[in-house]
Structure 1
Amino acid sequence: MARHSIDTDYLAAQLRALLAIPSPTGYTDTVVRYVSEELQRFGLEVELTRRGAIRAIRQGSRRAAARAIVSHLDTLGAQVKGLKSNGRLELVPIGTWSARFAEGARATIFAEDATYRGTILPLKASGHTFNEEVDTAPIGWAHVELRIDEIVRAPADVVKLGIDVGDTVAIDPQPEFLDNGFIVSRHLDNKAGVAVMLAALEAMERAGSKTPVDIHWLFTIAEEVGVGAASILKPEVASMVAVDNGTSAPGQNSSEFGVTVAMADQTGPFDYHLTRKLVRLCRDEDIRFQKDVFRYYRSDSASAVEAGHDVRTALVTFGVDASHGWERIHMHALRSLAELLTAYAVSALEIERDLKQSGDLAGFTRQPLAEAGDE
């Protein structure tokens, strides 16, 4: 079989390590260093963009028509919007997530020269003071504040700590790894995707696998704010598979088990041929899968295409319950996804025309529908 044996202990260990590193968009240097060192441990040469997106190329038989596998290192978070008269902090979100899930979160404030701890609270947090109003207060970022665990009663006290407008706030993940395979945490989007990629790479290195083309292992740093893989692809990349979370929720076909292959997101359908190849690999390699269409979702693939890269794109996901909130996944999906990535990496090149960036009709793909004039 083309799929490789995945070391789930290694996968879990990497996920634990990644979750322990705060990395809201804009504050990703530390996680970039960690992942780069792990890639170098596998013998890969790491190349960083100016801001820290990672490219590591595992050489195959050919450079042209290279394949890229991408996930993002950045997570949701918040920034200081203002210093309030009571010595607490007004916040705005980094990325799109509900203040409903921010309420009660423990957090770290990254000031200019120090870090501080605190809790995000609703403006009416005390039931002994506000009685039933704690349950009827509005929800939104204008209705929460960050209480700093220091002696601060006024904006001047906050300024003395070195905390200012624009400082980054990282939300504690508080992960739980259960014996039954479930993992519950914040920021599984997309620390779990990064761990899946590292586990797939570890399996390939352990097996000494050869690939028909170069595989570009990419890790972006601003997907949660829409930038993603906009500026990390090299011209020789012909296809890119994004690894991210699928939304296991009412009205969706995603699952916390097996691979969920996205057929489309809010930017439109993914590449017909690449997506169907991934589905075929799941069938051939006996990897459980399901398909889904995401309505309010975009990934690294969308940003790459919008930036003008002419690449085939696909999205494969691990199902997440309560995405961008208190997220839950299962190790079965992570293992299945890593298996699919290994099978894809070693699979034969089927569209020879992809070796060139452009050409005439010779070798151009066909879809299984009779074209005009065909008999």
Structure 2
Amino acid sequence: MQALTIDQDYLKNTLMSLLTIPSPAGMTDSVVQWVCHELENLGIEYELTRRGAIRANLYGRQNSPDRAIAAHLDTLGAIVRKYKANGRLEIASIGTWPARSAEGARVTVFTESGRTYRGTILPKKASGHTYGSEVDKQEASWNNLELRLDHTLSCAEDLEAAGINVGDIIAVDPQPEFCANGFWVSRFLDDKAGAAALLAAAKAIKEHNQPLEMDCHLLFTISEEVGVGASHILHGDVAELLAVDNGTIAPEQNTSEYGVTIAMQDSSGPFDRHLTHHLINLCKEHRLEFSRDVFRYYRSDAAAALEAGSDIRTGLICFALDASHGYERTHQSSVATVAQLLTLYMQSGPLFHRDEHALGPLKDFPIKDI
């Protein structure tokens, strides 16, 4: 096993490309196609589920048990809920994100005909010149938001005639900015930075022709933001599932801003002790900057897999993220460190050979608690 160099330009350019593709949950076909083409460029085989989740395959010396690493391609967004008499639209959120973070967002409405409309999400009382101090007193709520379209639409009949329908999906502009000092700022770094890290790690494995001890599946899911995640893409041989997602920067948290964070627990409960300590030991052995953290209001692809009935060991590693589900910020070194840890994990052997079988005797069970 060896630490592999991550192509920093590839990591950054891949993230930039992913961010340019609108992909709110429910409208992910374009980003799925882009990732499939990128896997082809890397010489990595893949398969698709009916709805478009991707399972790519890096082959190792043994194919059972095998492991999987998951990152999600879907993002937050909004959906048309109702016409308004003034030609604006009532909207509802796709995924769980605060109305306060949506205020002022520039967006695109995607209609069934293929025509798109540009607009801005605004609070109903948006002008201090009109409403005075009431603009600061209104509740930050999705019920208090509306979508103003940049077109001559002045009534509900105009909206209908324009081909805009209830249920049309609204994609929010990511507004990415990549600073020279390594800070990356954008909406939807959650989890497109994780997907970029996974692709960069796979690229390093392929270019170094690095042998793997066991098969590793790269999973790109398409409905994590609405709670489904990796529930629908695993198969029976997977014994270990590692999710890649964001770790929140906040005074109450212990996330590493410039390294990788090993999540010990999220809102669904503790992660597998053997897997998390294996990841910690890889960081220590190869001197990767890391921290441990616990997330109280957070769930990942791994939680959905367990809730779907998968009897697998799960873990979560995170890149740093400030203002999650808002206008987010991370640092290049954090995303790159995640990619480095992924290359090491891909090269490592199975935690326990007995995990090849769903059921077994006590003598094969790990008897040493950590």
TM-score of Structure 1 vs Structure 2, range by shorter chain: over 0.9
On the 8 A contact 2:66/2:350 being kept in 1, the answer is no
1-structure distance, mates of 2:256, 2:185: 15
Residue 2 (1) aligns with residue 2 (2)? yes
Q: How do 1:218-257 and structure 2 match up within 5 A?
A: 218-257=219-258
What displacement does 1:234 show? 1.1
The C-alpha deviation readout for 1:199-238, integer Å capped at 9, x for no partner, is 0011111111110110100000000010000010011111
| Residue identity opposite 1:74 in structure 2 | D
Aligned residue for 2:64?
Answer: 64
Aligned residue for 1:273?
Answer: 274
On the 8 A contact 1:255/1:320 being kept in 2, the answer is no
| Structure 1 consecutive aligned stretches of length 4 or more whose deviation exceeds 6 Å | none
On the 8 A contact 1:77/1:95 being kept in 2, the answer is yes
Aligned residue for 1:258?
Answer: 259
Aligned residue for 1:103?
Answer: 103
| Residue identity opposite 2:30 in structure 1 | T
| Residue identity opposite 2:243 in structure 1 | A
1-structure distance, mates of 2:369, 2:274: 11
On the 8 A contact 2:60/2:211 being kept in 1, the answer is yes
Aligned residue for 2:124?
Answer: 123
| Residue identity opposite 1:23 in structure 2 | S
2-structure distance, mates of 1:307, 1:84: 40
SS class of match (1:65): strand
The alignment yields a C-alpha RMSD, in angstroms, of 1.0
What displacement does 1:130 show? 1.6
Unaligned segments of structure 1, at least 5 residues: 370-375
SS class of match (1:297): coil
Aligned residue for 2:296?
Answer: 295
What displacement does 1:256 show? 1.9
What displacement does 1:356 show? 2.2
On the 8 A contact 1:247/1:254 being kept in 2, the answer is yes
1-structure distance, mates of 2:185, 2:84: 33
The C-alpha deviation readout for 1:300-324, integer Å capped at 9, x for no partner, is 0000011011111000001111100
| Residue identity opposite 2:183 in structure 1 | F
Q: How do 1:61-100 and structure 2 match up within 5 A?
A: 61-100=61-100
| Residue identity opposite 1:253 in structure 2 | N
On the 8 A contact 1:2/1:347 being kept in 2, the answer is no
On the 8 A contact 2:107/2:119 being kept in 1, the answer is yes
On the 8 A contact 2:275/2:351 being kept in 1, the answer is no
Aligned residue for 2:358?
Answer: 357
2-structure distance, mates of 1:50, 1:180: 42
| Residue identity opposite 1:129 in structure 2 | T
Identity, % of aligned pairs?
54
Q: Which moved more, 1:41-50 or 1:29-38?
A: 41-50
What displacement does 1:341 show? 0.2
1-structure distance, mates of 2:54, 2:351: 28
Q: Which moved more, 1:251-260 or 1:24-33?
A: 251-260
1-structure distance, mates of 2:131, 2:306: 50
What displacement does 1:250 show? 2.1
What displacement does 1:110 show? 0.6
Unaligned segments of structure 2, at least 5 residues: none
What displacement does 1:349 show? 2.7
Residue 135 (1) aligns with residue 136 (2)? yes
Aligned residue for 2:112?
Answer: 112
Question: How many aligned residue pairs are there?
Answer: 369
What displacement does 1:129 show? 1.4
SS class of match (1:109): strand
1-structure distance, mates of 2:190, 2:130: 37
Q: How do 1:335-346 and structure 2 match up within 5 A?
A: 335-346=336-347
| Residue identity opposite 1:303 in structure 2 | A
Aligned residue for 2:40?
Answer: 40
SS class of match (2:219): strand
2-structure distance, mates of 1:49, 1:304: 15
SS class of match (1:362): helix
What displacement does 1:271 show? 0.5
